[in-house]
């Protein structure tokens, strides 16, 4: 129960309280509350249609929640995410995300994808374009720094030698890694990953585990993870939230969730049947 | 038969019945299309309309369609030899007779243009057939074509590093070449104006991916800003130029603010609407814009205060006396030519530069995926607004040049067709390709100006070029994108997956 | 005079006639948008071609000595629909089908290219001059009279309204009841699935263009009868306004297109009647902009949820 102890000590990074999202008559999420902390991987699991991606879309400002408070405790000040525009959530509160169906900039190079992720920082360095147009050395310096940071992440996701490829030409697994690296280049406090292991082979899955634990341990940020691949979830998450039909049915450590009868009934039971395939 | 099927060993026997049916159907459709509008001509006679028949033209259209269709079927069924054997001599004879003007003897058409089209089609068919004979493959898949075209685009861009300066050098010495009379220079000015407009629109369409169908509105705002300031407040061109650009950019930002969140095709239609609104306002606001009569007597630009006139006005000096030259009206034309050339080059430099800045990369990222941009903390609206505003600003600069060159402007110069022409220049050249715009402008604006006979077919050619190029390559003919910065310089160039 | 009820009624009749034209064109936009999600920018030119084929038909009939009006109208109507439909079919086959599955903007640029092409094609073949035609109908019934202001409903206007009504009912029934209509609605939902279920998607899309072209050609005929003069450029404005109508009604919705057409017609008539004729086009464009900004789904359209 060491994780439970950690929970009490660590400061919560994200507080989701009574989150409800309705689309017309359809209730996608119903009164869900949970918390995520720095330096931890929190997994959100649940059967298809349980409302996991909707939670992400509310967190990252793509949907306005019908009811609920989403508080992000940024080192400088708390942010109410439900009141913020999507791009500000990424820019100010430092919430970065990836997408279920990868959204890279396919016609731009791998390096450019990562540079674009550092847009706001570079925008300031370029004096909102004016100084950059004049070609001042301060901007060139900032750009070099940005490239160095890209190189750091490229090394991490093993894409350095393909840095000048078009992102769209990368194989699938590499695109997944690139999308995570791109999200990290925004220097987030909270990283939300929507099914990062989908479509990966077992070796790539292992690499992903390594990458995610690296992000947690070295960068000390919170990671929120939607995943179906139980080998990933159970191995690396510190804390699991289980959703079913838009409701939270369980919340705790992997061991606790694994043995929770409600979860077994709603989810893991089904998963074992699927496990054969 | 043995000869016919020699090209493809795996070719199935030709199904003559199906072929006749297919070609007949095409002929029938062609007949349906041509019968009404080609077959009958409405003639204006006193007191109404009369009708005249042109059934021979209908017959020609139908026959040519059937022949063309048969050629297509033969190519598709891997029998290129026949097409080459018939098509090549046919097109050669046709082209020779067109060149020497003999075509009237054996072609039924009322215009040489139709003859040219037929000859070109025949040439295309026979070239494809020859290509198939030598390479053994006739049908290229879309991806293959895309790859080939991208490679050509890349080659053109590499070549542009050498061709660009050559073109520029040619552009610079053009006024001093022996054949450069006033007409040639006027055409030059026109072409460079469109190059500048194309480069400006390329920021909006090519980089930011925002289809703006009302670009001419900003051109109009720039023109009228300069004209009104010059006429009412007696301000000079050089003072007005930045102001005209600013006004156009402001208009762009104001119009763009509410609409830039719309999805691509809706945005296109709304910008078209705005373009028309501005034109209708210019047309009807008599007190301010002179309505359909326009504004005339717009002052000409000066060379640092030196006028291009035979005699200087009170207290001023003229260009030719200051430099001790003989007065000649062409001096002003040459000056205007250099003026627009410099303005266009500034536009180009600006674009090349801003592409490598964060805002330029954000434009391209927005074009690629707006949702991903939002998730990275990029403000989509502001980013689009800057693209829209900067694009509009260059249109405004070009507009004030247009006003000072013409000396007279009216709403007639700012119709939707003008927007469509500029868009065609961008699209034809390849969206995002700077050198492509140059080629497209020379091709679309320069050629029809030089060959006056082509004038009436110009818009027809525009329309069909836009359609054909989109079908051939939706990203534009010479579109090719080089990364704005490289990590492994030259070591591992961006490559295709094998 | 402007304050009188008679004047109001007059504008109402004018607006409804105009609305019939816009509504008929708007259906073509809406059907095509519904099924392949593109703005068929060249649809206005199809309308213009319909008007030109109509005038040519009238001239041929006049030369042939067929002067009994009901027969002449029937022949012109059928011929126009037939020959314009071929243009609609060819447009889709030649210009749009090769572009299916490419980005929306490519299709829109093609459509603009087609629009420019068709305009200049007609201009080259039939000259750029105005084409006037003698009125076919005359007379009408007097609805109201006060002082010296007479409000009348001409036979022409009655013909236009009833023709429009009949066509709209027929086409609504086609879409609601027939297998073609079912196939169209299926393709609207999911083209890939529809083709797996044995629907001939290409044919369905072609027929949608044919239907749209037929209705636009009737709009062309009505325009010719009502205004008595056409030129190669009428398609642009009418097309943009009809598109506005389709957007106002909710693009993709058939009743929406009819309602939108009627509303745009009325707005234009009342705007010209009570404010200024000069700015009537601004009114239409202004509505387009406002609708797209504030209610992009239109009056009867379904909301379009952004998928992430």
Hey, are the CB atoms on C126 and B274 less than 8 Å from each other?
no
pLDDT band at C275 (very low <50, low <70, confident <90, very high): confident
pLDDT at C210: 93
pLDDT at B110: 62
If asked whether residues A199 and A255 sit together in one domain, one would say yes
pLDDT at B305: 67
With contacts defined as CB-CB under 8 Å, which chain C residues touch A53?
Answer: 308
Q: Is the pLDDT of residue A137 over 80?
A: no
If asked whether residues B135 and B158 sit together in one domain, one would say no
If asked whether residues A66 and A116 sit together in one domain, one would say no
Hey, are the CB atoms on B284 and C105 less than 8 Å from each other?
no
- Cβ A36 vs Cβ A234: under 8 Å: no
With contacts defined as CB-CB under 8 Å, which chain A residues touch B379?
Answer: 87-88, 91
Tell me whether residue B478 is in a domain.
Answer: no
Q: Is the pLDDT of residue A1 over 50?
A: no
Query: In B226-265, which positions are buried (b, 16+ CB within 10 angstroms) versus exposed (e)?
Result: bbbbbeeeeeebeebbebbbbbbbbbbbebbbebbebeeb
Q: Is the pLDDT of residue C2 over 80?
A: no
Q: Give the gap in angstroms from C-alpha C255 to the nearest C-alpha of chain B.
A: 21
Q: Is the pLDDT of residue B491 over 60?
A: no
The count of other CB atoms within 10 Å of the CB of residue B148 is 12
Tell me whether residue B165 is in a domain.
Answer: yes
If asked whether residues A89 and A211 sit together in one domain, one would say yes
Q: Which of B60, B43, B61, B39 is nearest to B51 (CA)?
A: B43
Tell whether C279 lies on the interface with B, counting CB pairs under 8 A: yes
pTM confidence score: 0.84
If asked whether residues A77 and A201 sit together in one domain, one would say yes
- Cβ C63 vs Cβ B53: under 8 Å: no
Hey, are the CB atoms on B463 and C38 less than 8 Å from each other?
no
If asked whether residues A201 and A183 sit together in one domain, one would say no
Of B139, B164, B195, which residue sits at a domain end? B139
pLDDT at A72: 83
Tell me whether residue B491 is in a domain.
Answer: no
Q: Is the pLDDT of residue B137 over 80?
A: no
Range in A118-127, A177-186, C82-91, C168-177 with the lowest mean pLDDT: A118-127
By CA distance, what is C307's nearest residue in A?
A62
Range in B143-147, B378-382, C40-44 with the lowest mean pLDDT: B143-147
Of B112, B139, B166, which residue sits at a domain end? B139
Q: Which of B438, B419, B426, B427 is nearest to B469 (CA)?
A: B427
Q: Is the pLDDT of residue C308 over 60?
A: no
Task: Report the neighbours of B using a cutoff of 3 or more CB pairs below 8 angstroms.
Answer: A, C
Q: Which of C24, C15, C58 is nearest to C284 (CA)?
A: C15
What angle separates helix B330-355 from helix B358-368, to the nearest 10 degrees? 80
| Max avg pLDDT among B79-83, B118-122, B438-442 | B438-442
If asked whether residues B324 and B441 sit together in one domain, one would say yes
If asked whether residues B264 and B343 sit together in one domain, one would say yes
Q: What phi and psi, each to the nearest 5 degrees, are found at residue C210?
A: -60, -45
pLDDT at B341: 92
Which tops the pLDDT comparison, A189 or B263? A189
Which tops the pLDDT comparison, B275 or A229? B275
If asked whether residues B245 and B208 sit together in one domain, one would say yes
If asked whether residues A229 and A268 sit together in one domain, one would say yes
Q: Is the pLDDT of residue C46 over 90?
A: yes
Query: In A122-136, which positions are buried (b, 16+ CB within 10 angstroms) versus exposed (e)?
Result: bbebbeebebbbeee
If asked whether residues B68 and B158 sit together in one domain, one would say no
Q: Which of B258, B415, B267, B274 is nearest to C247 (CA)?
A: B267
Q: Taking chain C, what is the end-to-end CA distance rounded to the nearest angstrom?
A: 57
Tell me whether residue B425 is in a domain.
Answer: yes
Average pLDDT over residues B450-461: 74
Average pLDDT over residues B397-401: 92
How confident is the prediction for chain C on average, in pLDDT?
86
Domains defined for chain C, CATH in brackets: 5-294 (1.10.3470)
Tell me whether residue B494 is in a domain.
Answer: no
Tell whether C56 lies on the interface with B, counting CB pairs under 8 A: yes
Q: Is the pLDDT of residue B217 over 80?
A: yes
Range in A8-12, B347-351, C153-157 with the lowest mean pLDDT: A8-12
pLDDT 10s digits, B271-309: 888 888 888 888 888 878 887 888 887 787 777 667 776
Host domain of residue B124: 4-139
pLDDT band at B136 (very low <50, low <70, confident <90, very high): low
Of A154, A187, A220, which residue sits at a domain end? A187
With contacts defined as CB-CB under 8 Å, which chain C residues touch B27?
Answer: none
If asked whether residues A18 and A84 sit together in one domain, one would say yes
If asked whether residues A128 and A165 sit together in one domain, one would say yes
Instruction: Tell me, rounded to whole angstroms, the distance of Cα B5 from its chain centroid.
Output: 42
Q: Is the pLDDT of residue A274 over 50?
A: no
Q: What CATH number has the domain bearing residue A201? A: 3.40.50.300
pLDDT at B342: 92
pLDDT band at B216 (very low <50, low <70, confident <90, very high): very high
| Max avg pLDDT among A106-115, C64-73, C77-86 | C77-86
If asked whether residues A252 and A197 sit together in one domain, one would say yes
If asked whether residues B121 and B207 sit together in one domain, one would say no
pLDDT at C26: 93
Q: Is the pLDDT of residue B495 over 50?
A: no
- Please state, in angstroms and as integers, the Cα–Cα distance from residue B335 to each residue in A224, B187, B339, B409, following that order: 64, 14, 6, 20
Nearest CB among A88, A90, A115 relative to B361 is that of A115
Pairing between β-strand C140-146 and β-strand C149-154 as defined by DSSP bridges:
antiparallel
pLDDT at C304: 60
Q: Give the gap in angstroms from C-alpha C152 to the nearest C-alpha of chain B.
A: 27
Q: What is the DSSP letter of A170?
A: S
pLDDT at C166: 92
If asked whether residues B188 and B112 sit together in one domain, one would say no
If asked whether residues B111 and B160 sit together in one domain, one would say no
Q: Is the pLDDT of residue B25 over 60?
A: yes
Pairing between β-strand A78-80 and β-strand A67-73 as defined by DSSP bridges:
antiparallel
pLDDT 10s digits, C92-143: 999 998 888 787 778 888 998 999 999 999 988 888 888 888 887 777 777 7
Tell me whether residue A272 is in a domain.
Answer: yes
If asked whether residues B242 and B192 sit together in one domain, one would say yes
pLDDT at B4: 45
Of A159, A187, A215, which residue sits at a domain end? A187
Tell whether A62 lies on the interface with C, counting CB pairs under 8 A: yes
pLDDT band at B8 (very low <50, low <70, confident <90, very high): very low
Give me A41's structure tokens. 């991987």
If asked whether residues B167 and B129 sit together in one domain, one would say no
Q: Is the pLDDT of residue B212 over 80?
A: yes
Tell me whether residue B329 is in a domain.
Answer: yes
The count of other CB atoms within 10 Å of the CB of residue A270 is 13
If asked whether residues B16 and B125 sit together in one domain, one would say yes
Q: What phi and psi, each to the nearest 5 degrees, are found at residue C145?
A: -145, 130
Give the number of domains in chain B. 2
Which tops the pLDDT comparison, A264 or A212? A212
Host domain of residue A131: 107-187
Q: What CATH number has the domain bearing residue B300? A: 1.10.3470
Give the number of domains in chain A. 2
Give me A18's structure tokens. 């009574």
Range in B45-49, B221-225, C25-29, C120-124 with the lowest mean pLDDT: B45-49
If asked whether residues A83 and A192 sit together in one domain, one would say yes
Hey, are the CB atoms on A112 and B361 less than 8 Å from each other?
yes
Q: Is the pLDDT of residue B138 over 60?
A: no
Hey, are the CB atoms on B262 and C125 less than 8 Å from each other?
no
With contacts defined as CB-CB under 8 Å, which chain C residues touch A57?
Answer: 308
Range in B32-41, B305-314, B356-365, C22-31 with the lowest mean pLDDT: B305-314
Tell whether B276 lies on the interface with C, counting CB pairs under 8 A: yes
Tell me whether residue A99 is in a domain.
Answer: no
Which tops the pLDDT comparison, B413 or A266? B413
By CA distance, what is C61's nearest residue in B?
B51
By CA distance, what is A100's nearest residue in C?
C308
Query: What string of H, E and C letters represents the secondary structure of A106-118?
Result: CCCEHHHHHHHHC
Burial (CB count <10 Å: 0-12, 13-18, 19+), residue B139 = exposed
pLDDT 10s digits, C291-304: 887 887 878 777 66
Tell whether A53 lies on the interface with C, counting CB pairs under 8 A: yes
Tell me whether residue B480 is in a domain.
Answer: no
How far is the C-alpha of C279 from the C-alpha of B230, rounded, in Å? 28
pLDDT at B120: 81
Nearest CB among B40, B51, B470 relative to C113 is that of B470
Of A147, A164, A187, which residue sits at a domain end? A187
Average pLDDT over residues B366-390: 89
Average pLDDT over residues C5-9: 81
Interface with B, mutate which of C52, C57, C60, C120 (most B CBs under 10 A): C120
If asked whether residues A153 and A175 sit together in one domain, one would say yes
pLDDT at C306: 54
Tell me whether residue B145 is in a domain.
Answer: no
- Cβ C111 vs Cβ C40: under 8 Å: yes
Write the ipTM: 0.86
Share of chain B above pLDDT 70, in %: 87
pLDDT band at B37 (very low <50, low <70, confident <90, very high): confident
Burial (CB count <10 Å: 0-12, 13-18, 19+), residue B456 = middle
With contacts defined as CB-CB under 8 Å, which chain C residues touch B265?
Answer: 38-39, 104-105, 108
Q: Is the pLDDT of residue A188 over 60?
A: yes
- Cβ C246 vs Cβ C188: under 8 Å: no
With contacts defined as CB-CB under 8 Å, which chain B residues touch C90?
Answer: 29, 33
If asked whether residues B287 and B355 sit together in one domain, one would say yes
pLDDT 10s digits, B224-257: 998 888 888 877 788 888 999 999 999 999 988 8
If asked whether residues A180 and A268 sit together in one domain, one would say no
Tell me whether residue A136 is in a domain.
Answer: yes
Which tops the pLDDT comparison, A84 or A267? A84
Hey, are the CB atoms on C134 and B274 less than 8 Å from each other?
no
């Amino acid at each position: 129960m060491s994780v439970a102890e950690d929970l009490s000590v660590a400061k919560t990074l994200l507080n989701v309280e009574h989150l409800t999202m309705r689309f017309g008559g359809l209730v996608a999420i119903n009164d869900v509350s949970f918390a995520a902390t720095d330096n931890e991987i929190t997994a959100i699991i649940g059967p298809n249609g349980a409302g996991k991606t909707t939670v992400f879309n509310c967190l990252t400002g793509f949907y306005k929640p019908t009811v609920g408070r989403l508080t992000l405790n940024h080192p400088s000040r708390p942010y109410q995410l439900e009141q913020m525009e999507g791009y500000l959530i990424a820019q100010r509160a430092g919430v970065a995300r990836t997408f279920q169906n990868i959204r890279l900039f396919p016609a731009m190079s791998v390096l450019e994808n990562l540079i674009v992720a550092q847009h706001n920082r570079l925008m300031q360095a370029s004096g909102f374009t004016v100084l950059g147009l004049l070609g001042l050395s301060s901007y060139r310096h900032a750009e070099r720094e940005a490239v160095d940071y890209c190189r750091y992440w490229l090394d991490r996701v093993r894409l350095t030698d393909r840095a000048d490829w078009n992102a769209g030409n990368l194989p699938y697994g590499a695109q997944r890694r690139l999308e995570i690296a791109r999200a990290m280049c925004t220097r987030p406090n909270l990283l939300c990953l929507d099914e990062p292991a989908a479509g990966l082979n077992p070796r790539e899955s292992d690499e992903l585990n390594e990458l995610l634990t690296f992000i947690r341990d070295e960068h000390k940020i919170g990671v929120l993870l939607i995943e179906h691949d139980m080998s990933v979830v159970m191995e690396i998450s510190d804390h699991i939230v289980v959703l079913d039909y838009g409701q939270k049915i369980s919340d705790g450590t992997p061991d606790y969730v694994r043995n929770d009868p409600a979860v077994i009934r709603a989810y893991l039971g089904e998963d074992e049947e699927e496990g054969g395939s | 038969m043995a000869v016919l099927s020699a090209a493809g060993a795996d070719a199935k026997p030709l199904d003559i019945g199906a072929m006749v049916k297919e070609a007949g159907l095409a002929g029938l459709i062609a007949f349906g299309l041509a019968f009404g509008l080609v077959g009958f001509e409405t003639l204006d006679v006193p007191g109404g309309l009369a009708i005249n028949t042109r059934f021979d033209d209908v017959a020609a259209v139908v026959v040519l369609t059937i022949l063309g269709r048969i050629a297509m079927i033969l190519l598709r069924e891997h029998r290129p030899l026949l097409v080459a054997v018939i098509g090549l001599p046919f097109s050669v004879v046709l082209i020779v007779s067109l060149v020497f003007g003999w075509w009237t003897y054996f072609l039924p058409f009322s215009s040489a243009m139709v003859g040219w089209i037929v000859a070109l089609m025949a040439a295309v068919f026979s070239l494809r057939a020859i290509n198939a004979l030598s390479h053994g493959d006739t049908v290229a898949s879309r991806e293959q074509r895309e790859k080939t075209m991208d490679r050509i685009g890349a080659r053109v861009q590499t070549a542009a590093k050498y061709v660009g300066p050559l073109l520029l050098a040619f552009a610079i010495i053009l006024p001093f070449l022996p054949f450069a009379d006033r007409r040639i220079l006027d055409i030059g000015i026109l072409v460079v104006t469109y190059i500048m407009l194309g480069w400006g629109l390329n920021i909006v369409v090519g980089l930011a991916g925002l289809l703006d169908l009302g670009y001419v509105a900003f051109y109009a705002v720039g023109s009228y800003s300069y004209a009104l300031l010059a006429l009412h407040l007696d301000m000079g061109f050089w003072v007005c130029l930045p102001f005209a650009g600013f006004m156009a950019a402001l208009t762009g930002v104001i119009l763009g603010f509410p609409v830039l969140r719309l999805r691509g095709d809706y945005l296109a239609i709304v910008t078209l609407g705005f373009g028309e609104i501005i034109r209708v306002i210019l047309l009807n606001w008599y007190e301010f814009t002179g309505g359909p009569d326009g504004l005339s007597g717009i002052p000409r630009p000066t060379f640092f205060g030196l006028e291009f006139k035979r005699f200087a006005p009170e207290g001023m000096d003229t260009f030719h006396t200051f430099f001790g030259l003989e007065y000649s009206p062409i001096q002003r034309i040459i000056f205007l030519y250099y003026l627009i050339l410099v303005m266009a080059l500034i536009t180009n430099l600006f674009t090349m530069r801003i592409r490598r800045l964060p805002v330029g990369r954000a434009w391209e990222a927005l074009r690629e995926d707006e949702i991903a941009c939002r998730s990275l903390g990029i403000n989509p609206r502001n980013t689009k607004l800057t693209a829209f505003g900067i694009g509009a600003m260059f249109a405004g600069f070009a507009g004030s040049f247009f006003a000072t060159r013409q000396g007279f402007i009216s709403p007639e110069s700012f119709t939707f067709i003008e927007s469509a022409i500029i868009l065609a220049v961008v699209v034809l050249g390849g969206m995002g390709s700077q050198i492509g715009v140059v080629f497209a402008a020379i091709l679309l604006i320069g050629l029809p100006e030089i060959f006056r006979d082509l004038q009436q077919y110009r818009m027809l050619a525009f329309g069909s070029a836009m359609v054909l190029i989109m079908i051939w390559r939706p990203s534009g003919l010479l579109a090719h994108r080089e990364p704005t910065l490289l990590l492994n310089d030259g070591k591992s160039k961006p490559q295709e997956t094998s | 005079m402007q304050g009188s009820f008679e004047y109001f009624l007059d504008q109402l009749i004018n607006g409804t006639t105009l609305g019939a034209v816009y509504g008929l064109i708007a259906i073509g936009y809406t059907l095509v948008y519904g099924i392949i999600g593109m703005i068929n920018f060249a649809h206005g030119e199809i309308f213009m071609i319909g008007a030109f084929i109509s005038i040519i038909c009238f001239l041929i009939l006049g030369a042939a000595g067929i002067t009994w009006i009901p027969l002449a109208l029937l022949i012109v109507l059928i011929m126009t629909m037939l020959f314009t439909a071929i243009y609609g079919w060819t447009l889709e086959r030649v210009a749009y089908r090769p572009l299916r599955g490419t980005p929306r903007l490519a299709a829109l640029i093609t459509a603009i290219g087609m629009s420019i092409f068709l305009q200049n094609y007609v201009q080259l073949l039939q000259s750029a001059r105005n084409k006037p035609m003698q009125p076919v109908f005359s007379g009408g019934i007097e609805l109201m009279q006060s002082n010296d202001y007479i409000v009348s409903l001409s036979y022409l206007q009655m013909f236009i309204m009833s023709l429009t009504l009949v066509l709209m009912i027929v086409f609504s029934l086609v879409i609601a009841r027939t297998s073609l209509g079912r196939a169209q609605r299926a393709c609207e939902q999911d083209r890939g699935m529809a083709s797996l279920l044995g629907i001939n998607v290409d044919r369905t899309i072609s027929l949608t263009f044919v239907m749209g072209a037929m209705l636009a050609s009737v709009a062309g005929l009505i325009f010719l009868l009502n205004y008595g003069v056409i030129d190669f450029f009428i398609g642009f404005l009418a097309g943009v306004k009809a598109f506005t109508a389709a957007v106002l009604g909710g693009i993709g919705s058939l009743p929406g297109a009819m309602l939108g057409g009627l509303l745009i017609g009325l707005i234009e008539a009342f705007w010209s009647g009570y404010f200024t004729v000069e700015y009537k086009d601004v009114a239409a464009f202004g509505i387009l902009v406002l609708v797209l900004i504030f209610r992009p789904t239109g009056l009867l359209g379904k909301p379009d949820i952004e998928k992430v």
